[in-house]
Amino acid sequence: MRRILWREYHVYGRSQYARLASISASHIYNLRRTANYRRHHVHLTKTRSRAVAIGERRRPDPRGRPGYLRVDTVHQGDTQTRQGLYHINAVDTRTQWEAVGCCETISEAHLVPVLEAILHQFPFRIRGFHSDNGSEFLNKRVAGLLNKLLVAEFTKSRAYRTTDNALVEGKNGAVVRKHIGHEPIGAEHAAELQRFYTAYFNPYLNYHRPCGFATVELAGNGRRRRHYRLEDYRTPYEKLLSLNEWQTHLKEGISAAGLEQQARRFSDIECALRMQDAQRRLLAQCRSRW
């Protein structure tokens, strides 16, 4: 949020944000330390796993290149009479470029078309696909999809290594749960949420929502310490532009001019308000039919 307010004034030149551009992170935390902000209802379920030979059990190694995705599912919750939908969250390891999708169930028939639509939303070539040990990803149909898209690496998390898929799991709470909430939503609304994610939510995340990219320093005792300064917060698009020879990683048919046009179409606040308006209308419609 601090970075967004800074960008509204310094990048987009909106004078009404002149004072807010210098707000401190501590004051933002004070504003968020309220009962309404902290009132959340969390429902946890264990990942369904099975022993299969699909995928290599190791941590992905992007070597500074984009295109290595971490993927996970988020269940919106069931009631006693109706089943809830599932969100599919995919995050690039290097740039934190994120694409969220939605499907009725995590069966192969429902998940694979949504997963393919998500992978097509990344502007750069997909080189690696990493998931936990859930059966929704470790199956022949997903492996066949990745082969069709020429994804070279298919890896899965190691036992007792919680950091292997921590990036996308953190995004599950900070992005999906924060904006969609914890209230159950019926599986019949999956197509409507999929359209919302594609048209409003994913463009907002990648062009207008800054992410923290830590500066790692080696302390005197040999420990690695992570620091987050204001300049360490960038949108995934800004992070992509900062990579060496970043245009060589783009998919065929994706141009730098097209990405820049998308980024400049709205300011950060304008895009957020547009997304939130569509979000409120969608969730109200889902609740009225529940």
- Domain membership of residue 274 (yes or no) is no
For the ranges 34-43, 49-58, 203-212, which has the lowest average pLDDT? 34-43
Of 7-16, 103-112, 129-138, 199-208, give the range with the top mean pLDDT: 199-208
pLDDT level of residue 66 (50, 70, 90 thresholds): very high
- Domain membership of residue 61 (yes or no) is yes
Q: For residue 188, what are its two tokens?
A: 């019949």
Backbone phi, psi, residue 2, to 5°: -60, -40
Compute CA distances 222 → 161, 219, 225, 229, whole Å: 22, 5, 9, 22
The reported pLDDT for the residue numbered 42 is 39
Please determine, for residue 41, whether its predicted confidence score (pLDDT) is greater than 50.
no
The reported pLDDT for the residue numbered 289 is 61
- Domain membership of residue 115 (yes or no) is yes
Q: Which percentage of the chain shows pLDDT scores above 70? A: 93
CATH of the domain at 101: 3.30.420.10
Over residues 195-209, the pLDDT tens digits come to 999 999 999 999 999
Q: For residue 189, what are its two tokens?
A: 């609304």
Of 20-34, 88-102, 123-137, 222-236, give the range with the top mean pLDDT: 88-102
- Domain membership of residue 273 (yes or no) is no
- Domain membership of residue 232 (yes or no) is no
Over residues 240-280, the pLDDT tens digits come to 999 999 999 999 999 999 999 999 999 999 999 999 999 99
Over residues 173-185, the pLDDT tens digits come to 999 999 998 888 9
* Overall pTM surpassing 0.85 (yes/no): no
pLDDT level of residue 43 (50, 70, 90 thresholds): very low
Residue 77 CA to residue 44 CA, distance in Å, equals 9
- Domain membership of residue 103 (yes or no) is yes
The reported pLDDT for the residue numbered 18 is 92
Instruction: Look at the chain and report how many structural domains it folds into.
Output: 1
Which residues are CB-neighbours of 238 under 8 A, at least 6 positions away? 210
- Domain membership of residue 153 (yes or no) is yes
Q: For residue 214, what are its two tokens?
A: 């830590």
Which residues are CB-neighbours of 214 under 8 A, at least 6 positions away? 226, 227, 228, 232
- Domain membership of residue 67 (yes or no) is yes
Look up the domain containing 98 and give its range: 56-186
SS3 label, residue 153: strand
Across the chain, mean pLDDT equals 87
Beta-sheet pairing, 224-227 with 98-103: unpaired
